Amino acid sequence: SYHVNHNLKGQPEEQKNLGEMKRSREFELEADRDAATMLSRAGYTGRVCQQGLEFMHRSVGDGSITEPESTHPGYEERLKAMRANYDAMEKQPAKTQANTRASYSYDRSDNLLTLTPQQR
């Protein structure tokens, strides 16, 4: 609503709608980037999200283009953005995680796993 009330204020209704759709497509591309980052940080190697997009395209055959009235970017735009995201991620130096000594306890009744860091 901030985007509509501040960036699109005073524009004709049709322009507002197109502006909202464009912003929605930007959010979708951001979600794609976040998904790729999360999977990378979780230890999945390779371009898992890019491969998923490509597989979906091959199996479903949806190669739609980006339409101004659409809330989602088209296949080529999504794939191009995903490739650029992975290219940028691969240029960054690998982050190593510090080893943390810890103990774990599991409470079956609460279905709760507790991690307790230990001093070295």
pLDDT tens figures, 19-77: 888 888 999 999 999 999 999 888 888 999 999 999 999 999 878 899 999 989 999 99
Query: What is the CA 96 to chain-centroid distance, rounded?
Result: 22
Answer for the pair 61, 75: CB distance below 8 angstroms, yes or no. no
Q: Measure the CA–CA gap between 90 and 68, rounded to whole angstroms.
A: 32
Q: Measure the CA–CA gap between 2 and 53, rounded to whole angstroms.
A: 31
pTM equals 0.69
pLDDT beyond 70 at 1: no
Would you state the pLDDT for residue 78?
A: 95
